[in-house]
Amino acid sequence: MLIVQKYGGTSVGGLERIENVANRVARAREAGHDLVIVVSAMSGETNKLLGYAEHFSKTPAKKEMDMLLSSGERITAALLSIALQAKGYEAVAMTGRQAGIVTDDLHTFARIESIHPEAMQHAIRDGKIVVVAGFQGVNRNGSVTTLGRGGSDLSAVALAAALHADQCEIYSDVDGIYTTDPRIEPNAKKLDVISYDEMLELSSLGAKVLQSRSVELAKKLNVKLYAKSSFSDDKGTLITKENGNMEAVLVSGVVLDKNQARVTLRGVVDRPGIAAEIFSALAEANVNVDMIIQNVGTDGLTNLGFTVPQSEIEDAEKLVESFNEDIQGADFDEHVCKVSVVGVGMKSHSGVAATAFTVLADSNINIQMISTSEIKISLIIDEKYGELAIRALHEAYELDK
């Protein structure tokens, strides 16, 4: 069996933890598996490198940042390969370039265009364990590129697809996907299996176990994906295709996202194209807009509300100022959060939204904004009620049973 394993920053956070990963890889090798290991930088290493760059410039060139930040994963790959060799196993460390990962030209947030796995395949045929530095590749000009935060997950899934691996295992400090954050709700339960679509929603809504782009790619390429812990032998959670049994489960999980800010534009001139102008300007400035609400216009005016990540609220404020002639006023609230309910069972069951609204009403929590999809309901509420809402919804949907 060919297995791709990815180990995150906490799993390789120091020499002892790299030793632990080497022992785990050795056990998989002794079980007869061919292995490609993808590693992140040691925890804290990327932030340290960012600090080095900021010592010289607050706005360093992205091309140079890719060269700098990619070194963290290379260090881990080399150290793990050395650790495996010291245990008597043939191992070879590879950069993204050596692994054949080719990306577009978008530095610091590149997208993988193709993978040429011949070097890895040759090493595997020679009986070697391949250790790849995650999070990176090269563009067609040969310049180093990186894939954005969490990009090692993406590297692992892409390599698994290119190598036609039997499965891809993502290791972190948690042993799978839970019905909610166990730090908020101690009765949260680990899921044995979850669909790609549910995992994609959970990842995009704030669950930190898997990067959303990696889940999207796994679904597209049908990669058998597991979320596991590098600190236990638990079988983890399988992320796979949706099947009929999954729809029997009404809700799979509830998620809290505190990285939210609400923008309310009051007295917006109600004319065709005004919303397009506002949101086009936000998109051009790379401000990520999530939920949007527009009231029915009266007397030639309307109100328009939307949410953005807290880290982008200042950019949103500056852009809104450029529309002063079209709006009477604007409010910016960083003290909100998003609570979401996710489950493929919503497709075939009614009343999920009604339950959520009732639960929050019974807890005296006011809902400010609502967004729905086929398998998701998201609600914007006051930040101070976020954890209370999560616990109440978790109980209401009986996710602890």
Strands (E), 327-385: 329-342, 369-373, 376-382
Where does residue 245 rank: exposed (0-12), middle (13-18), buried (19+ CB within 10 A)? exposed
Residues of the chain with pLDDT under 50: none
Q: Nearest-CA neighbor of 239 among 191, 187, 180?
A: 191
Query: Are the beta carbons of 133 and 96 closer than 8 angstroms?
Result: yes
DSSP 297-365: PBTTEEEEEEEE-GGGHHHHHHHHHTTTTT-SEEEEEEEEEEEEEE-GGGGT-S-HHHHHHHHHHHTT-
pLDDT, tens digit, 9 for 90 and up, residues 226-269: 999 999 888 999 999 877 666 566 788 999 999 999 999 999 98
Which tokens sit at 335? Answer: 């003290």
pLDDT, tens digit, 9 for 90 and up, residues 46-56: 999 999 999 99
User: Whole-angstrom Cα distance, residue 83 to residue 75?
Assistant: 12
Q: Residue 244's pLDDT is what? A: 64
Q: Residue 165's pLDDT is what? A: 97
Q: Residue 206's pLDDT is what? A: 66
Helix, strand, coil percent values for the chain (each to nearest 5):
35, 25, 35
User: Whole-angstrom Cα distance, residue 166 to residue 2?
Assistant: 5
Positive/negative CA dihedral, 194, 199, 205, 207 = positive
| Residues shown for the chain | 401
